Structure 1
Amino acid sequence: MNYILPHAIENVLGEKLVFLSAEKGEEGDKLIVENFVDPGFGPIMHTHWLQDESLTVVKGRIGYMVKGGTEQFAGEGETVLFKRGVAHRFWNAGEEELHCRGWIYPAHNIVFYLTSIFEAQNKSGKAQPEAFDGAYLITRYKSEFDVDIIPPFVKKVILPVTCFIGKLLGKYKHFEHAPAPVRK
């Protein structure tokens, strides 16, 4: 991991994520995290192909669902586990800031990826990341992460073409030290 922990990120959507520490595990680092989410907000439906994610509610109420399932809710002291390879989303289902603590295991490139996605959202000022950065990140790290609401044609054709154009235009100098994607 190339970040000094703790490492905090925040986006324009009212999400703050703090990567607190890393513990060594059999498959790699287990990343200890804390998040804070404004009411009504949270990440869109997504998949971590290589990581399990666990969140325990410290304060507030979390809404969550896995793709194809129904909405579920958890309150203070309750834990939600999202297994690797399962599309999921969560949001603040309460009227006050949602605060959770948890872990992501194994971490692989998640700190870089989420830091870069949040930066791209901040660049665009909305949920959809800046077009060139989003295309680069989603295309480069498709073996690790998926954004399930993006249609397959867009992921297979439009984003790679946008990424190629971005390379031609020199849009990715800030990614020159990006870690290689993990392939399994």
Structure 2
Amino acid sequence: MDDFLTLENRHTGEILRMRRERDAEGQVVLALDGSLPPHMNGPPPHVHFQQREEGRVRSGSLGVQVGSEKSVVPAGGTAAFPQGVVHTWWNAGDDPVEISGHAIPAADLDRYLQAVFAVMNASTSGRPSLFYIAHIALRHRRTQGFMTPPLAIQRIVFPLVLLVGYLLGKYRGGSWPGSPESCPGAPEVDAADLSATLSLSAIQSPDQR
């Protein structure tokens, strides 16, 4: 049984693998592995109001923007996205980029990403349905935010979109794209299971991995 939640954006080829882990202080963090094809954009500018992200580039070149600052992080380098700061990332090279890191604490980021990927993949054009993206934005508004349209406009427009969506029956049942029922989030690995996994990895030969 895979102890990761795997998400793939069928329009960009971005892949995310996530699971919840407990750190040395007992805090639940979200472990993240990500990859993106050459010259593709990752997520649009967004912000985590209650989390910070940090990661290491395993291969390729990662373009990042944190606030107004842009940079390129090569393989072996690290990137950090502070809590409350707008950021985005992209593949800045000719090879696939692969990254590993954590979101601290985990909060609801896994459920949020699961919902966003579902809405993106349900679109034939790559443009998400306003009805479903508004529902995600409003239910995660205290923890996550994307910057298009601006947050001030979202606070005015999205409640109206949500009302129309309810009137049209867009949110009936639990199988519509990005519904809370369809987005339980990533599995949590307890300390004993994680320790066993790391120990097994350490004793395996390169040919066994």
Q: Same fold (TM over 0.5)?
A: yes
The Cα RMSD (Å) is 2.0
Match of 1:6 among 4, 7, 14: 4
Residue 170 of structure 1, CA deviation: 2.6
Letter paired with 1:75: P
User: Identity over aligned residues, as a percent?
Assistant: 28
Letter paired with 1:14: G
Which 4+ runs in 1 deviate beyond 6 A? Answer: none
Residue 23 of structure 1, CA deviation: 2.0
1:89–1:151 CA distance, 2 compared to 1 (3 A): same
Residue 153 of structure 1, CA deviation: 4.7
Q: How many residues align?
A: 175
Residue 24 of structure 1, CA deviation: 4.5
Q: Deviations over 1:86-135 (max 9, x none)?
A: 11011110111110011111111111110110110111134532221101
* Higher Cα radius of gyration: 2
Residue 157 of structure 2 corresponds to: 158
The answer (yes or no) to whether the contact 2:20–2:106 under 8 Å persists in 1 is: no
Residue 176 of structure 1, CA deviation: 5.2
In terms of fraction of residues, the more helix-rich structure is: 2
Residue 200 of structure 2 corresponds to: none
Gaps spanning 5+ residues in structure 1: where?
Answer: 180-184
Residue 80 of structure 2 corresponds to: 81
Moved more, 86-95 or 16-25: 16-25
SS at match of 2:122: helix
The answer (yes or no) to whether the contact 1:21–1:33 under 8 Å persists in 2 is: no
Residue 196 of structure 2 corresponds to: none
TM-score when scaled to structure 2? Answer: 0.76
The answer (yes or no) to whether the contact 1:8–1:17 under 8 Å persists in 2 is: yes
In terms of fraction of residues, the more strand-rich structure is: 1
Gaps spanning 5+ residues in structure 2: where?
Answer: 185-209
TM-score when scaled to structure 1? Answer: 0.86
Are residues 1:130 and 2:137 paired?
no
Distance 1:43 1:27 in 2: 29
